Structure 1
């Protein structure tokens, strides 16, 4: 059996006296869908920030793609696609410009990014909005663009934090089918 993409043992995160994540253990294998469920304040987003190498753990161990995020954060982040709870798009740019610039951040070739954009516009059902500024999109369209943007680099790990927030039931169904 191959090494898991993500492995955590006794993963803990404290903020002063408050324990946000309390000694959790889990493994995520390649090709596996894995979810964190719980009420608000249960530590789901905190755990995702640790996996994304943007927040340090207090104790325990975690490896992502075989690496410790505290030592190899930039290398790990280069292999992640992240859809945060709140959309963080460049609202003054068009749909296509958002995807293009994000792809170039990863050092992908212009040719590759242009080809990938066509695929992602179809995936997100935004072909007709390609030249529209993000500011003019509906909330659901912005959410679909945020998800498409996370896929530009063909990440090894896709992290979705409440990905269907703001999507209507039909769009929600389509998204889960396509993912």
Structure 2
């Protein structure tokens, strides 16, 4: 198994995101997917939202789940364009991912408001709507996850976007994003 990310800066950006994921959940898993000379990284969080980022590169096999701590160790120690991301743990991935939707930007949360929103979330709960615009009702858990990841770092606003079909919400915070399914998952009882 190989993760190939030619640029050292891109590998460092991936390591930064994975490091933040591991700080939130040391037992987290990361799903790596290749498409069109880009590798996408997906990870769950304790806030029931996904973290995602991309970099030019590829992973072989093209869709694999690894331990976040193993990937972080490889990205931190191996200074080469190709590395072993860790052993596959595909059976540990739970949940679906958005396809390749077009994202419609519906607004932006000013960076200075993120902390205040998180403080209100303590009183209102993680599922309370803490921000609205353009048909998007952002639950506290999404903004808490942004803050939990240590974003935004540069004072830039957090961009809020909806997938073209409205099924997913995305909060972009610099080089990574928080993504959440907007429609409740249905449980099928057999």
TM-score above 0.5, yes or no = no
TM-score relative to the length of structure 2:
0.28
In terms of fraction of residues, the more strand-rich structure is 2
In terms of fraction of residues, the more helix-rich structure is 1
